[in-house]
Chain A
Amino acid sequence: MPDVTLEDLILSQAQELRRGTVVLACLALLDEPQYGYALLETLNDAGVTVDGNTLYPLLRRLDKQGLLTSEWNTDESRPRKFYRVSPEGSRVRTGLVREWQDLVASIARLTKEAP
């Protein structure tokens, strides 16, 4: 295979790894209501890189699934839709965090055994 560098390989595999973490990150951050663009900034500042065209549809889907609730805020000059975690969403978050910690522990064990 021509010109596939190690960095490219790592990057594409890392993307696979990160894919599922955005939901957990959203559920973790949205205890305080926030609107789309602000959440995107917060996520990217926190090192969870995600594109707007992935995040905004995701927020609506989580809203539809009942993990988030949403509300239009018209106090400012530009009306924005604010999302926050629903009670159901916070239960799901607890489960996902547990899952995440199990995963970290497993991988840590595996990578310690490997040379």
Chain B
Amino acid sequence: MSTNTLTERYVHEVARRIPADQRDDVADELRATIADTIEARESSDPDAAEREVLTEMGDPFRLAARYADRPLSLIGPWLYPTYIRLLTVLLSTVLPVIVVLTVVIDVLDGNDAGSVIGSGIAALLTVGAQMIAWLTVMFAVIERVQHRDGPARGADKWTPDDLPELRDLPKPDKQGFMAGAAAIWNAFLLVLIVWQHTAEPYRTDGGDRLQVLDPGLWSGWIWPILAGLAALVALELVRVAARGWTRPLAIGYALAEALFALPLAWILYRHEFFDPDFLAAVNGDWTTPDAFYTVAALGVLAVSAHEAVKRFREARR
């Protein structure tokens, strides 16, 4: 059955895109069906008939998607409105804030106008592109996960309360908005941490560029923190799409919060948070009191625990 005929190549192209448990069955059935169809043409030229039949069956990718009941769009009609709304919020509020921040830092560094404008445009393009890319990836994943559970449940519970006021500031459902805002905030933190690592934004009087956070973290504790933040963003976005916290979502949220907060509290407690060179340059002769770190570590734990408990409470409603 593994001869290199057009039919075999076609069946293979369809089958390899289908979940493994149905693959052989679909392949066998498709093979028989194609053979039946070719035979029924009673053509004097079987090769031409085969080509004709396969052309009519169409793109194997499309056929496989139909067999696997998979969406043929990256973000389907159920999630598209939410996607567009969140993208608009990100690009119209968070992006300008980051760009302004970049420009302000550059101005404070005493750079000339040309380089200030340059870094502003660079921030606009790279951060903007990152926002679009990651949001799109998130929603494409949600689309696929949701599809497996049956056709898009949850995302269609639009109520008239979601209508923006005329000539007034939009007042969408508060909790959904808060979840969206939390996602944006956590994404912002994530970007900020990576940015301060790659851009080394602090400049000492001697002209050296420094990171704000301890560079040693990048061979250790920063990774669970970043992973936790990414998971928090993902879960908040799922919450926005599903329009409510569920128990599994809240459990996932608590785990992600722990992944983020525990290492963070630990490195704060161990005074491994800031780049020592950066601290020395900023503080001069003054040393940061130990109490600062202890309070910060406890604060992180308290806020995270509070957030997790809040999610469970919202899930119970």
Listed in ascending order, the chain A residues whose CB lies under 8 Å from chain B are 35-38, 41, 51-54, 56-57, 60-61, 72, 78-81
Contact of B36 with A78 in the complex, beta carbons under 8 Å: yes
Q: How many residue pairs, one in A and one in B, have C-beta atoms under 8 Å apart?
A: 51
Bound Cα distance A60, B65 (Å): 13
Does B29 contact A81, Cβ atoms closer than 8 Å? yes
Q: How far is the CA of A53 from the CA of B72 in the complex (A)?
A: 15
Bound Cα distance A79, B57 (Å): 20
B32 near A60: Cβ-Cβ < 8 Å: no
Q: Which residue of B lies closest to A51 (CB)?
A: B56
Tell me whether B28 is interfacial, beta carbon within 8 Å. Answer: yes
Q: How far is the CA of A42 from the CA of B138 in the complex (A)?
A: 45
A37 touches B36 (CB 8 A): yes
The answer, yes or no, to whether B74 is at the interface (CB within 8 Å) is: no
Residue in A closest to B65 when the chains form the complex, CB atoms = A57
Whether the pair B33, A36 counts as a contact (CB closer than 8 A) is yes
A57 and B40 form a contact (CB under 8 A): no
Known: A37-B33, A53-B58, A81-B25. 12 other contacts (CB 8 A): A35-B33, A35-B36, A36-B29, A36-B32, A37-B40, A51-B56, A52-B57, A53-B56, A53-B63, A56-B29, A60-B67, A80-B29
The CA-CA distance from A72 to B22 in the complex, in Å, is 14
Specify which chain B residues have a CB less than 8 angstroms from the CB of A41 in the assembled complex. 40
Q: How many chain B residues touch A (Cβ–Cβ < 8 Å)? A: 20
Whether B56 lies near A52 (C-beta < 8 A) is yes
Q: Are B37 and A37 in contact (CB under 8 A)?
A: yes
Determine which of A52, A54, A61, A80 lies in contact with B32 in the assembled complex, contact meaning CB atoms within 8 Å. Answer: A80
CB proximity of B17 to chain A, nearest CB, Å: 12
List residues of chain A with CB within 8 A of the CB of B66. 53-54, 57
A70 to chain B, nearest CB (A): 9
Task: Mark out the residues of chain B between 64 and 107 whose CB falls within 8 Å of any chain A CB in the assembled complex.
Answer: 66-67, 69
| CB-defined contacts of B37 to chain A, threshold 8 Å | 37, 52
Instruction: State the main secondary structure of chain B at its contact with A.
Output: helix
Q: Can you report 21 A-B residue pairs in the complex whose CB atoms are below 8 A from each other?
A: A35-B32, A35-B33, A35-B36, A36-B33, A37-B40, A38-B36, A41-B40, A52-B33, A53-B56, A53-B58, A53-B66, A54-B66, A57-B69, A60-B29, A61-B69, A79-B28, A79-B32, A80-B29, A81-B25, A81-B28, A81-B29
The prevalent SS among residues of A at the interface is helix
Task: Among A36, A53, A60, point to the contact of B36 (Cβ < 8 A).
Answer: A36
Shortest A78–chain B CB gap in Å is 6
Task: Tell me the smallest distance from the CB of A1 to a CB of chain B, in Å.
Answer: 24
Residue contact A60 to B35, C-beta cutoff 8 Å:
no
Does the CB pair B33–A56 fall under 8 Å?
A: yes
**Closest chain A CB from B116 CB (angstroms):** 51
Query: Which A residues lie within 8 Å of B30 (CB)?
Result: 56
Enumerate the 8 nearest inter-chain pairs by beta-carbon distance, A residue then B residue, closest first.
A37-B36, A57-B66, A36-B33, A81-B29, A57-B67, A80-B32, A53-B57, A53-B58
**B62 interface residue, CB < 8 Å from A?**
yes
> B156: shortest Cβ distance to chain A, in Å?
20
Chain A residues within 8 Å of B69, by CB: 57, 61
Within the complex, the shortest CB–CB distance from A85 to chain B, in Å, comes to: 18
The distance from the CB of A75 to the nearest CB of chain B, in whole angstroms, is: 13
What residue of chain A has the Cβ atom nearest to residue B28's Cβ? A79
Please name all residues of chain A whose beta carbon is closer than 8 Å to the beta carbon of B56 when the two chains form the complex: 51-53
Shortest CB-to-CB span from B42 to chain A, Å, is 13
Contacts of B62 in A (CB 8 A): 53
Chain A residue at smallest Cβ distance from B25: A81
